[in-house]
Amino acid sequence: MKKTTLFALMLICSLASMAQTGNTTIKGSVEGIKKGRLYLLTRASEEKTDTLGYCDFKRGRFKLTATIAEPVVAQLVVDGFAGGFMLFAEPATAYEACLSEGANFYIRGGKLNDSYTAHMHVADSLGQVVAGLQGRYDALRTAKKFRSASQTNDSLRVEQEKLRGLQTAFLDCNNDNIIMAYTVYSNIMMREANLGETRRLYATLGERAKASQYGRMIEERIIRMAKTEGGAQAPDFTLPDSTGHLVTMSEVKAKVKIIDFWASWCGPCRLNNPALRKLYEEFHDKGLEIIGVSLDTNKAAWIKAIEKDGLSWINLSSLKGWQCDLVPLYSIKGIPALFVLDENNNIIATGLKGEPLQRFVEERLK
């Protein structure tokens, strides 16, 4: 099945749908599959997906009915197949679809969806021209044909400007609806924007865009990230150690506390462990404690890594890997991820490793 992407930087003008809540219908065909089940899914939050409706289909034909309260970004997904088909689904709106791996794939209907699709068709064509010119420019540079490369670069800049103008015009016409919120959220995720940048981009949205599905998700991200911003109270948690004994983070007393998210399979984490061990040996008696939170799923591998690396501090794990509840709670995007807390469990530093972490702990424990 054709996969879609959340990234929608290349978004022609559209009007926000003002339809009331009502039955939305999608009918059409699934090419290459005779029978099965089709779902209409949407994201209810950063972590939760809701099913708006589903239907069984036979002989490759289907009609799906769903009740939708507001415009949403949705996915049509065929059971048992990877990927999906994206659309802007609006209340009380009829859609026609051809779901196919081929170029004849389409979903038609709705003001938002049709304007987005029309824009993407033009933007994709321009994008292919830009990509072709970029490839030619790079090849000419490699071949040291600098005059021809310069001429190609001039043409490349013209086409790039056309594409930027198209994008800007489209977003200007959708600056206060779900398309703009969807675009901003997509950019935030692609860039892995920090809290400050996320707040800045959220502030560019109009009130209706902020109130939309993806506007709410950006706000949810801000609230979540603020919980682990410097100065914030660290979210409390309770996890089992390797013996099954439950340990609550806030009940661990220390002048300085480091929460280290790591895993036995994480190369950079294992390389960082000797420096942490040295730090712990030097400052533990002066008030430092380390709580290692492993994102392992294999208990034997986790315990073996603890023993091999000589991690004598508190080691905890839910053994759920990236499904651990602390991953979204602490906005973990990669490991190792370290949070330094004071004696009141306030976050006083993040992202420190090696010498910077050594100096920071030493200064706090003077």
- Average pLDDT value for residue range 359-366: 91
- Average pLDDT value for residue range 313-327: 96
Over pLDDT 90: what percentage of the chain? 73
Buried b (16+ CB within 10 A) or exposed e, 190-222: eeebebeebbebbeebeeebbebbbbbbbbebb
Separation between Cα atoms, residue 277 and residue 312, nearest integer Å: 8
- Which one-letter amino acid corresponds to residue 294? S
Residue with tokens 């890997």: 321
Over pLDDT 70: what percentage of the chain? 93
pLDDT at 19 over 80: no
Give the pLDDT of residue 82.
67
Closest CA to 72 of 174, 173, 175, 179: 179
In a 10 Å sphere around its CB, with 0-12 CB exposed, 13-18 middle and 19+ buried, how is residue 91 labelled? buried
Q: How distant, in Å, are the alpha carbons of 201, 289, 365, 366 from that of 359?
A: 34, 16, 10, 11
pTM of the model: 0.69
User: What are the backbone dihedrals phi and psi of residue 299, each rounded to the nearest 5 degrees, phi first?
Assistant: -65, -40
Q: How far apart are the first and last CA of the chain?
A: 61
Domains of the chain are: 22-109 (2.60.40.1120), 238-364 (3.40.30.10)
Give the pLDDT of residue 22.
61
pLDDT at 186 over 50: yes
Residue with tokens 């000589």: 310
pLDDT digits (tens, 9 = 90+) for 189-232: 888 788 889 999 999 999 999 999 999 999 998 988 887 777 78
Residue with tokens 């290459």: 32
- Average pLDDT value for residue range 283-295: 97
Give the pLDDT of residue 227.
79
- CB distance 41 to 73 below 8 Å: no
- Average pLDDT value for residue range 337-347: 94
